[in-house]
Structure 1
Amino acid sequence: MTGQGGFWDFEDRLRELSAEGDPLERLSATVDFEQFRPVLAKALRRGDPRKGGRPPFDAVLKFKMLVLQALHGLSLQQTSDLVRDRLSWMRFCGLGPGDGVPDANTLWDFREALIGARALDALFMRLEQAISAAGYLPMSGQIVDATLVAAPRQRNREDEKAAIKQGRSAQEIWPDQPAKAAQKDVDARWTVKFSKAKPAVEGTPQPPDIAIPDFGYKAHIAIDRRHGVIRRRLVSDAAAHDGARLREGLIDPDNTASGVWADTAYRSQANEDFLREAGKVSHIHVKKPKGKPMSDRTARANARKSAIRAKVEHPFAMLKGPMRLFIRTIGIKRAMAAITLAAMAYNMKRWVWLDGRTASA
């Protein structure tokens, strides 16, 4: 049996959570979410107060809920439910037990407004500036890479696939089926990722590579070598070539060092010329000569580069592991929003970790 609740039970439970090291409390202490309010206010359309109705939920509250969604790979409905249910999430959002919580539709409309106003780029850059102002400048060069981000797989006929490749919209392909067209993602693409198979018995011949089909998008990121913060990000369909994205805004001109590390997918004469003109030094892996063995000198150089380049796998492991990044929406604009919010959530966690390391040094 349970007794009558005490007047201070709520505060006592929050104190217990704080004593155990609530990660969201540390996140709130590190990141001043009020700094995003001017960008959010500019992006949101103001309703006519003469029409009456309930006042809208606070923009910073809704933005914090989108951060929670990105941190845990949730749907909007799951996010709303958990903010109602968890005391630590409630405190992070600045809510009390009797306060209203935005529902999934409210969060959807809020995110759509941010996408329509192109505010997510400004929010991302505002966070990056705050991290730099805290002393974590982009330093020691930058590392570029990409990873596949899955989306719900589409099942289309051959003629429909051909129309999609021609760049036709869903409304043009299914003009008589508006409900079906609304659920068709014509921006995502199929691609094949090859994975090396291991011999069943040591000493036996190497089996052929395993072809793994994937559908969705690619997240292209550039992190600074010193602090591992995501400084630049792009989104493309899954079939897009990694190397061409290097010249589309991935290089951070503010990095204090000139080195750029990347794997062989980025090795091309166009990229080498681009980096040279930008005043950067290429440390991109050298490809193995076709039909010839790689020289020992090149192999050793690639190994040295790999030791540095491997740092970029950490954000990918976080994004696709604990943060469970997955595209739940339709279209590349919404995919870009999901990946941008995930990159911001990762940078916030990284900032908390960097502060913790500095404090313990």
Structure 2
Amino acid sequence: MTASFHAELYKLIPEDHPLRKINEIVDFTFIHDLVRSSYCEHYGRPANEPELLFRLLFLQVLYNLSDERIIQETQVNLAYKWFLGVNPEDNLPDPSQLSRFRNHRLGAGAVDEVLISVVRQCIEKGLVKSKTIIMDSTHTLAASQKQKPLEVLRDAAKRLFRVVVKKHPKLEKKLPKLPGLRKEDQEDAEKIMLQYLANLGETVELLLPDHEGSISEKVRIAKAIVEDERLLANKGIMSAIDPDARFGWKSNTKSFFGYKEHIAMTEEEIITAVEVTEGSSDDGKQFKELLNQTLDAGIEVHEVIADTAYSGKDNLEEMKSKQIQPVVPLNPIVHNGGLRQEGFEYNKDADFVICPAGQHSIRKAVQGSKQSGNSRSLVFYFDTEKCKACPLKEGCFKPGAKSKTYSIRIVAEHYQEQIEFEKSDTFKERICRRPIIEHKNAELKRYHGMTKAKYRGLFRMRIQAILTTFVVNVKRMIKLTEKMQSAS
């Protein structure tokens, strides 16, 4: 920036302003290398400075503002403009540039490195001394409403039809028309609309084999909906606008529609890894990815603190192989014990099993001898009336069967070492550290917009989550630095 006469106004910004502290302590120049490959250096108009756009995204998340509002606020806020490194009278980028930078520059493969970069800065400054990571998950509501299958099919068809006609008006007469459903068609309405959506998608691909942009996006969504075997059972895709969002459980009685963020964090409250999944995903299955991300960032891990969702046999073996102490309360159910039917998953929060069609068990019972832990099983029972009408019943439910069950073998012998450790004073002391990650999840939601998704789709949800954790890490980085300076 070439300082102008108006730059004298920046002297009005207090020396202890949070943005001055952030600018002094955090190195934002890493962003140039991360996005360099997504720019063309020799053709086209010069791009706006990547660091300026990234700093704008930082301010946006820090103060929980929309693309339009952050530009409006920055235009009249001296501290914001100083933080960007521009003169008070300079114009700012159009809000649409923030979206392009977020999705096409950072989203083109660099967004994971954003989180890694701030973690490494914390390590270099000596802010991370603990060799413990704490894991947990939280949920974010989707940016769209949950729909019934017929609504999903109808909306997807209308959106695809509309975008094709908008870009290629002459093709309107060649596209199949939306069927008018009569009263006598109501029972088969979903199947009629499913067939129409499949026909429409095939026609669009035939007429526009080289389709791109918004048409490609709508065609992709239509294909995903048509191919979703769980759709008509009301357990698959539940939104034509956000087909990646899923129905998940917070407890046995509370559910949500959206996504999950799985987080790993040090005891200093520096988030080291984030994995974003659909709302129905199993927390424990994200363990290896969170651990590997943390190790890749340069964190040395000797201990993992987490809840029962992470107590699966594979996770315990992974920690043992890496000489990591698991401070993880065991669930009496071994997720991988015994023979399992593919597609069935146990939900530890709700304490039921979900079948491939998305139905959950209605009750459970323990079978087997109490004297022999190896022979005991936890048996989950399903509603046979729903099984009879299930589109996935072939090979799963036998016609005429009086019950449908799913059993999980309880194999305590694999966990004897962990069972003994749970009884120790060390375990009881260390597990008390777990709640601090819940405070971090609350901060992400309460102050930085993670209660509800700002964008649609898993791809954009991941970008939102990583940018938010970057900002929260920077805030923590400032506090830890000040604490270290005051102690020295």
**2:141 maps to which residue?**
150
Alpha-carbon distance, 1:342 to partner: 0.5
Distance 2:427 2:125 in 1: 34
**1:216 maps to which residue?**
258
Alpha-carbon distance, 1:183 to partner: 6.4
Deviation sequence 1:176-229 (CA, Å, 0-9, x none): xxxxx99611111122323xxxxxxxxxxxxxx7x333221111111112x221
**1:256 maps to which residue?**
300
Please, which of 258, 266, 275 is the counterpart of residue 310 of structure 2? 266
**1:105 maps to which residue?**
96
**1:281 maps to which residue?**
325
TM-score of the two chains, using structure 1 as the length reference: 0.79
Deviation sequence 1:34-53 (CA, Å, 0-9, x none): 2322222233344625xxx5
2:77 pairs with 1:86:
yes
Alpha-carbon distance, 1:231 to partner: 1.0
TM-score of the two chains, using structure 2 as the length reference: 0.60
Please, which of 232, 249, 268 is the counterpart of residue 273 of structure 2? 232
Please, which of 172, 176, 187 is the counterpart of residue 244 of structure 2? 187
Q: 1:58/1:264 Cα in 2 relative to 1: closer, same or farther (>3 Å)?
A: same
Distance 1:22 1:229 in 2: 22
Greater Cα offset, 330-339 or 211-220: 211-220
Distance 1:93 1:129 in 2: 23
**1:202 maps to which residue?**
none
**1:335 maps to which residue?**
461
SS at match of 2:327: strand
SS at match of 1:216: strand
SS at match of 2:323: coil
Q: After TM superposition, what 4+ stretches of structure 1 lie above 6 angstroms from structure 2?
A: 7-10, 288-292, 299-302
| Native 8 Å contact 2:31 2:50 kept in 1 | no
**1:15 maps to which residue?**
11
The runs of 5 or more residues in structure 2 that have no matched partner are 154-189, 195-218, 227-237, 334-364, 371-418
Distance 1:146 1:43 in 2: 32
Distance 2:255 2:8 in 1: 51
Distance 1:182 1:96 in 2: 45
2:473 pairs with 1:344:
no
Distance 1:128 1:43 in 2: 23
Alpha-carbon distance, 1:347 to partner: 1.0
Pairs within 5 Å for 1:64-75: 64-75=55-66
Distance 1:237 1:9 in 2: 49
Alpha-carbon distance, 1:72 to partner: 2.3
| Native 8 Å contact 2:144 2:241 kept in 1 | no
Distance 1:351 1:39 in 2: 21
Pairs within 5 Å for 1:20-99: 21-46=16-41, 48-49=43-44, 55-99=46-90
| Native 8 Å contact 2:248 2:257 kept in 1 | yes
Distance 2:484 2:441 in 1: 24
Alpha-carbon distance, 1:270 to partner: 1.7
**1:308 maps to which residue?**
433
Alpha-carbon distance, 1:8 to partner: 8.0
2:449 pairs with 1:321:
no
**1:141 maps to which residue?**
132
| Native 8 Å contact 1:146 1:242 kept in 2 | yes
Aligned-pair identity in percent equals 24
Deviation sequence 1:335-356 (CA, Å, 0-9, x none): 1001010011111111111111
User: RMSD of aligned C-alpha atoms?
Assistant: 3.2
Distance 2:94 2:242 in 1: 25
| Native 8 Å contact 1:259 1:281 kept in 2 | yes
Alignment-mate amino acid for residue 280 of structure 1 = I
| Native 8 Å contact 1:138 1:256 kept in 2 | no
SS at match of 1:18: coil
Alpha-carbon distance, 1:173 to partner: 6.1
| Native 8 Å contact 2:327 2:431 kept in 1 | no
2:184 pairs with 1:127:
no
Alignment-mate amino acid for residue 319 of structure 1 = L
**1:206 maps to which residue?**
none
Distance 1:174 1:315 in 2: 36
Q: 1:250/1:234 Cα in 2 relative to 1: closer, same or farther (>3 Å)?
A: farther
Alignment-mate amino acid for residue 44 of structure 1 = Y
Q: 1:259/1:235 Cα in 2 relative to 1: closer, same or farther (>3 Å)?
A: same
Distance 1:323 1:108 in 2: 18
Greater Cα offset, 133-142 or 85-94: 133-142
Deviation sequence 1:156-177 (CA, Å, 0-9, x none): 22354999xxxx94232679xx
Greater Cα offset, 119-128 or 149-158: 149-158
The runs of 5 or more residues in structure 1 that have no matched partner are 1-6, 176-180, 195-208
Q: 1:174/1:316 Cα in 2 relative to 1: closer, same or farther (>3 Å)?
A: closer
Distance 2:330 2:8 in 1: 59
SS at match of 1:219: strand
Bigger radius of gyration among the two: 2
Distance 1:132 1:80 in 2: 33
SS at match of 2:447: coil
Distance 2:119 2:427 in 1: 30
